Amino acid sequence: MAKQISLKAALRPSSGRTATKKIRNAGRVPGIVYGKKTQPVSIALDARELTTALKNLTSENVLVDLKLENDGKTESRFALIQDVQHDVMSGKVLHLDLHEIAQDEKLRVEVSVEPMGEPAGVKSQGALLEQVLRSLHIECLPKDLPESIRVDVSKLEAGQSIHVHEIAVPEGVTVTSMKDLSVFACVMPRVEEEKTGADAATRTLRNNLPVTEIRTLCRSLCQLKPTGFWWRASATLEKIISQPAITSGLL
């Protein structure tokens, strides 16, 4: 199941750049709580408490039991972390977005996919494991939300794939991604092919024509068509056949 943390927050009466700067200078982090059935609420959280709570999290889907203080009263809200903004240089948390949810309503989120085990094709056939999809779209209640979906790839042979519809998910979870998409594939390393037509043409010239015949052809072209194009073509052919690796192999 997804990680769940508890946080305390207070209502933030004002917003704007100046008010936000004062909140951060006071050791707090500005944030917002919103949901489809509630109006957005600006909040402020203790920076140290928030940093500690987020420190060891590895999943993108984190549930929050939020205690919101307002005029001496405390109300509980249940939310999902939607976004965490960090300072690029220091790594400090700058802002927190919380999406309020109901425990009896299904969520639609993305969950990461992780391979488990070493494919048989990698062990015995020298194949490589490719991960085509990094996450799956799922639907479930908050209580059934998985931290990630782990897939056993140990039986994959070279040339085989695991598709979305073949993945076993926890009870209460429905995958909404397209069923025929590949998630993992066990493939043999690709042999580098000829990159350009020019390379192929060069190799054809090198392999099929003796150097003397190529030089004779170049001179004949220049005599028949004494234009800049043919002189440049002749120079190019001469450059090709003048390489040591070619002349040593053809002469």
Rounded Cα gap, residues 156 and 167, in angstroms: 13
Supply φ then ψ for residue 214, to 5 degrees. -65, -45
Task: Give pLDDT tens digits for 199-247.
Answer: 555 555 455 555 556 566 666 655 555 555 555 666 666 666 565 544 4
Cα gap 54→98, rounded to integer Å: 13
Residue 239 is predicted with a pLDDT of: 63
Q: Given this model, what pLDDT does residue 38 score? A: 85
pLDDT at 251: 42
- Where residue 159 falls (left for φ over 0; alpha for ψ -120 to 50; beta otherwise) is left
Per-block average pLDDT, block size 10, for the chain (251 residues)? 91 81 92 90 94 87 93 91 92 94 94 96 94 96 95 96 96 96 93 56 52 60 54 61 49 42
33-46 exposure pattern, b = at least 16 Cβ within 10 A, e = fewer: bebeeeeebbbbbb
- Cβ contacts of residue 30 below 8 Å, gap of 6+? 12, 15, 20, 23, 24, 42, 43, 44, 94, 95, 96
Q: What is the pLDDT of residue 248?
A: 43
Q: DSSP readout, 159-183?
A: T-EEEGGG----TT-EE-S-TT-EE
